[in-house]
Amino acid sequence: MEEGETVEEAAMREAREEANADIRIDRMLAVYSVPRISQVQIMFRAELVSDISPGPESLEVGLFEWKDIPWSNLAFPTVVWGLTHFAQTRELDAFAPFTNPPGTEALTR
């Protein structure tokens, strides 16, 4: 987050910086703690409302069918968790935000 931003504004800015993407935020999906790198990552469910292309902070971006997600190439455990939690809630209108999955402490310390 930048000074003066809301978490939603930060998420929208990050989407633009990484993928030249405009998104419409639906709701908070999860809050993950990653003490190893002194981060708290807040994930949102959102709708993509633009085309994408590599932004100033990315070399490559892409859209994938669910069955084609390159799971073994995802750089961060929190991305896997977020996608997994999205799959669990994609048909739900309301749910409590997720936190770090049980048994994943070693991945964040």
49-103: per-residue pLDDT in tens? 999 999 988 999 999 999 999 999 998 999 999 999 999 999 999 999 999 999 8
In the chain, the number of structural domains is: 1
Look up the CATH number of the domain holding residue 14.
3.90.79.10
Q: Does residue 1 form part of some domain?
A: no
Q: Does residue 19 form part of some domain?
A: yes
Mean pLDDT over 29-48 rounds to 95
**Residue 13 pLDDT greater than 70, yes or no:** yes
Q: Does residue 92 form part of some domain?
A: yes
The whole-model pTM stands at 0.89
| Backbone dihedral region for residue 11 (phi beyond 0: left; psi -120 to 50: alpha; all else: beta) | alpha
Q: Does residue 55 form part of some domain?
A: yes
Q: Does residue 2 form part of some domain?
A: no
What residues are paired with 31 via a beta bridge?
Answer: 42
Which residue segment(s) compose the domain that 28 sits in? 7-108
Q: How many Å apart are CA 63 and CA 33, to the nearest integer?
A: 26
**Residue 106 pLDDT greater than 70, yes or no:** no
Residue 25 pLDDT class (50, 70, 90 cuts) = very high
